[in-house]
């Protein structure tokens, strides 16, 4: 089900578009916290957090099927991921066009954020 969701919305470091089920499963199993959203028996959204549990956490792969967007589902996923983790410095990378969504949830731009990817991406300068 995660493969179908991320096949449509992308994410999981492009493994969603490639429909690489094993890699997606392993990434989610290695996560500290996974939150999913359902409509009856259909997975419509998900997100995950990696953390040391003490200082830092990173949120990844928050995705909602396009037909279910703008209904508060993404906000609910983020809210649930953050529960119990309010003491952490939380980092995330927004997909293009969704920056305001995260600002509305209390996130701010980080002045010195850096990243290193093992492949070419439009997210890096």
Residue 23: give its domain's CATH number: 3.40.630.30
The domain in which residue 13 lies consists of 2-104
In a domain, 111, yes or no: no
**Global model pTM greater than 0.75:** yes
* Residue among 10, 64, 70 nearest 36 (CA): 64
One digit per residue, the tens of pLDDT, for the chain of length 125 reads 888 998 888 888 888 888 889 999 999 999 999 999 999 999 999 999 999 999 999 999 999 999 999 999 999 999 999 999 999 999 999 999 999 999 999 999 999 999 999 989 899 99
Number of domains in the chain: 1
Question: Could you tell me the two tokens for 64?
Answer: 């909602």
Angle value at C-alpha 109, between 94 and 99, nearest 5 degrees: 35
Q: Is residue 116 part of a domain?
A: no
């Amino acid at each position: 089900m995660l493969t179908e969701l991320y096949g449509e919305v992308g994410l999981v470091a492009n493994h969603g578009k490639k429909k690489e089920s094993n890699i997606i499963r392993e990434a989610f199993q290695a996560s500290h916290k996974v939150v999913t959203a359902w409509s009856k028996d259909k997975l419509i959204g998900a997100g995950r957090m990696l953390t040391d549990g003490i200082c830092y956490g990173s949120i990844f792969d928050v995705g909602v099927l396009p037909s279910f967007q703008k209904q508060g589902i993404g906000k609910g996923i983020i809210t649930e991921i953050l529960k119990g983790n309010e003491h952490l410095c939380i980092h995330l990378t927004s997909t293009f066009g969704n920056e305001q969504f995260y600002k509305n949830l209390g996130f701010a731009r980080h002045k010195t954020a850096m990243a290193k990817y093992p492949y070419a991406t439009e997210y890096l300068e």
